[in-house]
Amino acid sequence: MSVQREDVDIKLIAIDMDGTLLNDEQLISDENRKAIREAEDKGVYVVISTGRTLMTCRELAESLKLSSFLITANGSEIWDSNFNLVERKLLHTDHIQMMWDLRNKHNTNFWASTVNKVWRGEFPENITDHEWLKFGFDIEDDDIRNEVLEELRKNKELEITNSSPTNIEVNALGINKAAALAKVTEKLGFTMENVMAMGDSLNDIAMIKEAGLGVAMGNAQDIVKETADYITDTNIENGVAKAIRHWVL
């Protein structure tokens, strides 16, 4: 699918990491690096917008030497180019307790992010001692996953997405990549109309929908492709570089 969007004046490219910028070895290809560098040299901002925390993406982000902002934990945090915190929105500990109970009830795989640690396999005894950004379930069984989703959706204070077909990611309501990007564009002096956003999962839908140009990866979930204006190649075929070359360079 291709859409004629030559009228879009792209001043910022927002790129998801897993399943988008990164290949299946969790690396950034030389082609993607080169296209990003050329876009930045042309004066277009490139912003990584990821579900990962700063701890788990900083090294990769640093290697790109980007000039503006970094969005982490699905928009819970915004960092400047020197990795100073610009903004942070936390998830209430009551919600974490509820999700931890739900996780134990169904005995699912999980991970959870506090401001200084990603918890996998282990969990703190005192939930209230920590500042929480995100909680995630990873559930292979469709029935159990749907049951957990149903339970979560009863709570109107949660933002529920995923970053792969088998997982569920939960942030505080109103926290998503689009809302964070809107703040970034405001700081830079333009609007979401000047953004090209690329991603593959449900946590990318908001920014793909609200950007002037929304791009889905060739490996994206179907609903993401249906939302996008344009579909590029997969994450292992340098889809990011191809979209940048097609629309920006």
CATH number reported for the structural domain that contains residue 16 in this entry: 3.40.50.1000
If you average pLDDT over residues 108-127, what whole number do you get?
96
Domain boundary among 144, 172, 200: 172
**Statement to judge: residues 34 and 74 lie in one domain:** yes
Which positions are catalytic?
Answer: 16
pLDDT of 4 reads 53
Task: Give the amino acid at 217.
Answer: M
CA gap 86, 61 in Å, rounded: 16
Q: What is the pTM of this model?
A: 0.95
CATH number reported for the structural domain that contains residue 118 in this entry: 3.30.1240.10
Domain boundary among 147, 172, 197: 172
**Statement to judge: residues 158 and 194 lie in one domain:** no
- H-only helix segments in the chain: 30-41, 54-64, 93-106, 142-153, 177-188, 202-210, 222-227, 239-247
For residue 159, the cross-strand partners are 171
In a domain, 2, yes or no: no
Element (H, E) at 169: strand 167-172
Q: pLDDT tens, 33-75?
A: 999 999 999 999 999 999 999 999 999 999 999 999 999 999 9
CA gap 246, 223 in Å, rounded: 23
What is the rounded average pLDDT for all residues in the chain?
A: 96
The two tokens of residue 221 are 């979930």
**Statement to judge: residues 111 and 145 lie in one domain:** yes
Residue 138's domain comprises 93-172
- Count structural domains, the chain: 2
Q: Is 238 exposed, middle or buried (0-12, 13-18, 19+ CB in 10 A)?
A: buried
**Statement to judge: residues 165 and 188 lie in one domain:** no
**Statement to judge: residues 83 and 183 lie in one domain:** yes
Sign of CA dihedral 240, 137, 166, 205: negative
CA gap 179, 161 in Å, rounded: 14
In a domain, 1, yes or no: no
If you average pLDDT over residues 160-188, what whole number do you get?
97
**Residue 80 pLDDT greater than 70, yes or no:** yes
- Strands 213-216, 45-49: pairing is unpaired
Q: pLDDT tens, 147-173?
A: 999 999 999 999 999 999 999 999 999
The answer to whether 121 touches 164, Cβ cutoff 8 Å, is no
**Statement to judge: residues 183 and 243 lie in one domain:** yes
In a domain, 6, yes or no: no
CA gap 157, 173 in Å, rounded: 5
193, 206, 235 from 210: Cα distances, Å = 8, 6, 22
**Statement to judge: residues 122 and 161 lie in one domain:** yes
**Statement to judge: residues 104 and 160 lie in one domain:** yes
In a domain, 235, yes or no: yes
**Residue 95 pLDDT greater than 60, yes or no:** yes
The answer to whether 54 touches 79, Cβ cutoff 8 Å, is yes
Greater confidence (5 vs 113) lies with 113
